Amino acid sequence: MINTTLCYIRRGEEYLMLHRVKKENDLNKDKWIGIGGKFLDKESPEDCLLREVEEETGLVLTDYRYRGVVTFISDRWPTEYMHLFTADGFTGELKDCDEGVLEWLPRDQLLNIPHWEGDAIFLDLIWRDAPFFSLKVCYQGDRLAEAVLNGKVLTPT
């Protein structure tokens, strides 16, 4: 089991996205994702969030919110608990990221770029300002096979 953070940093109506095109053997290869990474020993979700955002982007978060936990289950990768955050405040300047290309994208483009299918579920929850949630997404390859929100199976769309 792996613990990670994932953060969607907002600037007006744009979100900072990472196009994962630089790492070898990357679970997220060619997908666009938020900012985050794996916990180090003794880190809390907030510790990991702040460290990963600064390491990957050069930004220091000044205003963020813990939104939920996403359990990512795959037939190809280890199970992952993603601690999901949003952020509206930051200082600093963007730097190059060694994991991919950083780009500010309008909110209405986020579901039109290559992404994990389950991301659409939690992005909708974020955009609707849903209370803290637990989402389980189960994948067969890159295909979303099942999604369970707060213990209830979601109907496929």
Confidence of residue 22 (pLDDT cuts 50, 70, 90): confident
Do the Cβ atoms of 144 and 118 come closer than 8 Å?
A: yes
Confidence of residue 31 (pLDDT cuts 50, 70, 90): confident
pLDDT of residue 29: 74
> Of 23, 35, 46, which Cα lies nearest the Cα of 105?
35
Examine the pLDDT at 156 and tell me if it is beyond 70.
no
Confidence of residue 69 (pLDDT cuts 50, 70, 90): very high
- pTM greater than the 0.85 cutoff: yes
| Span 70-116, pLDDT tens digits | 999 999 989 999 999 999 999 999 999 988 999 999 999 999 998 99
Distances (CA, A) of 58 to 35, 90, 138, 143: 11, 10, 32, 33
For the chain, the average pLDDT equals 94
